[in-house]
Structure 1
Amino acid sequence: MTAAEREARGPIDALIAAEGLPASYRATIEAHWRPLAHAIAARATGLPLIVGVSGSQGSGKSTLCRMLEALLAEDHGLRVATLSLDDLYLTRAARAELAASVHPLFATRGVPGTHDVALGLSLLDAVRAGQAGLVFPRFDKAADDRAPEAEWQTLTAPVDVLLFEGWCMGARPQTAADLAIPLNRLEAEEDAGGIWRAHVNAALAGPYRALFDAPDLMVMLAAPGFEAVLGWRQLQEAKLRARSGGGMSDAELARFVMHYERITRHLLADLPGRADVLIALGEDHAVTAARHRADQTISTPQPRPS
């Protein structure tokens, strides 16, 4: 397929427009996402392939997954779906019970311990079994609760590739020594005894281990540092306030992001050496490098039939 033929295809252009991305984003698609889709397709033989996509808040996981869905379908004829870890959040009532019985910080969604891991594992097992008619839950962040089942996504056919994305995908537990010292004001003032972070860590060592070990291939979108993550979230929230008049203030957002700081920093230090594909990002979200774990650069796809 020639460059002119690719340019003429509508779905990618429509997706770029729907995501509010500049026309220049096509260069990122051709340089990085199309080769990544090719590498995934090469692995998608036999049983359904589960691809983990890990990246901090604001790193662009959802956009990447939408691009990969389109590219894998158009270029390789594969049936692809995306499951977000966010959609596995416990209901608001269940988190309230957890907050009352374990620690008040569990009222806030996000960290390990606030997801329905059993549901996630059952869905992954069903995907691997090639089941049709699977129903993926949806979480309504505006309501801070699981969406009504009428709004859940139904997969009419088995999928060849499942993209399983989440901000803490692939996280491993820390040592007791790592947990002992509070990392930020939230931990120091609201978890002085370390109960919350110890419970989160135990979840990573226990139920989440099988969930995060499930992917056959792990892709990481690596932020240049936690400071960039905070900046990305501030930008997202500013856009939300401008669009809807709602959203968190800068002070509220700073506290909210502190819930995720420990695991985000740990992932940035630990996961790059374990990820099958590492996509390094600059502060402007531009891809600075995309490499296989064995340092093989993903830059150019092999020829495909036109």
Structure 2
Amino acid sequence: MINDWLQAMGTVSGQKAAQAAALKDKSSAKAFGITSANVEQVVQERSQLLQSLLPAFSQFCQNRLHTPIDKMLPMLWDLWLPLAVKIASQHQKLQRPFVQGILGSQGTGKTTMCQVLGLILQELGYCSVSLSLDDLYKTYHERLELTQADPRLIWRGPPGTHDVDLGINVLEQIRQSQTPVSIPRFDKSAYGGAGDRTEPEIVEKVDILLFEGWFVGVRPIDPLVFDDAPTPIITDADKAFARDTNIRLSEYLPLWERLDSLIVLYPQDYRYSVEWRKQAERQMIAAGKSGMTDAEIERFVNYFWRSLHPELFIKPLAQSASWVDLVIEIDQDHRLTLAKVRK
């Protein structure tokens, strides 16, 4: 497929077909600033970028994704390449490091997107760093104290289990071009899987920060919504937990204010994440690694839905919030479609 594509792009008819396709996809054209006036240049530059990136991307598909490159090529061409170029352009306009927020629930591909964007940005000559919301967890001992104060926080992840001040300091240092920057990292395997802070990564230069997490950019909602909440928020105790978590979200607003842009990875049905997680765990078990049973996964996911339910927090954000720049919709087979672009 790659050779066929390269041969086609080397012809006038192949270039014209790519230009027509770029203009036909109205959402993509709007998101990435493609017009009839610049489409020829855009396609030519994207084609050149793809060819220079192919060796590194092929190795990435083989070693990280364990997926044939042919399967990933359409997504690379249609989404990841133009998105990386857009992020680079936004960085250039700011004349300072750019902070790109990426919101997505479990299984939406946040980590993969950050890794691919990092490859492309490197090819473009930019120094990018990925930071997960998970890297901002409080230390193991701090979370022990937290659980003693609130036994409902049985797992790390919900609002309240992160060191928000740490995140604010890191993002602020990056935005102000301070160097070097100490990027926090978290070892999920420490303390038998409970996890703990580990040695930070020292970075000399950051042009672009890709900041991803399962509720990055999510904001508090009207607490009255919980009076008639969807499952698994059923009991009075469930509703109390959801309201308290909603209150804790306010602590994260100063962190979200330091985002320059927010992308939402949005499943067509939030319940897909359960099946995606089950598939991943089964693959781990088949490979001889430890993994959760289906019942354990359902308890785990339901816990997070009780804390921040996707229908209550992420759906409204994806549909109407003015601070979301791009919504990428995901179907059950992990196919991606641009669903919303901020005007």
TM-score interval (norm. to shorter):
0.7 to 0.9
Q: Distance in 2 between matches of 1:243 and 1:138?
A: 26
* Number of equivalenced pairs: 286
Of 211, 219, 226, the residue aligned with 2:263 is 219
Per-residue CA distance 1:147-189 (angstroms, 9 max, x = gap): 432xx3221x22111000001111111222122356435x546
Secondary structure of the structure 2 residue equivalent to 1:168: coil
Per-residue CA distance 1:84-113 (angstroms, 9 max, x = gap): 0011112232222112213x1213111111
Q: Distance in 1 between matches of 2:141 and 2:49?
A: 51
Of 60, 66, 71, the residue aligned with 1:15 is 60
User: What amino acid maps onto 1:161 in structure 2?
Assistant: I
2:137–2:197 CA contact under 8 A, matched in 1 = no
1:80–1:160 CA contact under 8 A, matched in 2 = yes
Q: Distance in 2 between matches of 1:154 and 1:119?
A: 15
Greater Rg over alpha carbons, structure:
2
Give the superposed CA RMSD. Answer: 2.1
1:153 is matched with which residue? 201
Per-residue CA distance 1:101-148 (angstroms, 9 max, x = gap): 13x121311111111101000100110111222222222223222243
Per-residue CA distance 1:53-107 (angstroms, 9 max, x = gap): 0111110000000111111121x211110110011112232222112213x1213
Q: Distance in 2 between matches of 1:12 and 1:193?
A: 45
2:97 is matched with which residue? 48
Q: Distance in 2 between matches of 1:166 and 1:27?
A: 25
Q: Structure 2 unaligned runs (5+)?
A: 1-44
Q: Distance in 1 between matches of 2:317 and 2:67?
A: 28
Of 84, 87, 94, the residue aligned with 2:135 is 87
2:33 is matched with which residue? none
* TM-aligned CA distance change 1:244 to 1:180, over 3 Å: farther
Secondary structure of the structure 1 residue equivalent to 2:159: coil
2:326–2:338 CA contact under 8 A, matched in 1 = no
* TM-aligned CA distance change 1:180 to 1:99, over 3 Å: farther
More helix by share: 2
Of 108, 114, 117, the residue aligned with 2:164 is 117
Q: Distance in 1 between matches of 2:207 and 2:274?
A: 35
Q: Distance in 2 between matches of 1:63 and 1:193?
A: 33
1:179–1:198 CA contact under 8 A, matched in 2 = yes
Write out aligned runs for 1:39-78 (5 A): 39-45=86-92, 46-74=95-123, 76-78=124-126
2:297 is matched with which residue? 253
Q: Distance in 1 between matches of 2:153 and 2:253?
A: 19
Q: Distance in 1 between matches of 2:130 and 2:198?
A: 19
Per-residue CA distance 1:11-68 (angstroms, 9 max, x = gap): 1111122222332202210111101111111110201110000111110000000111
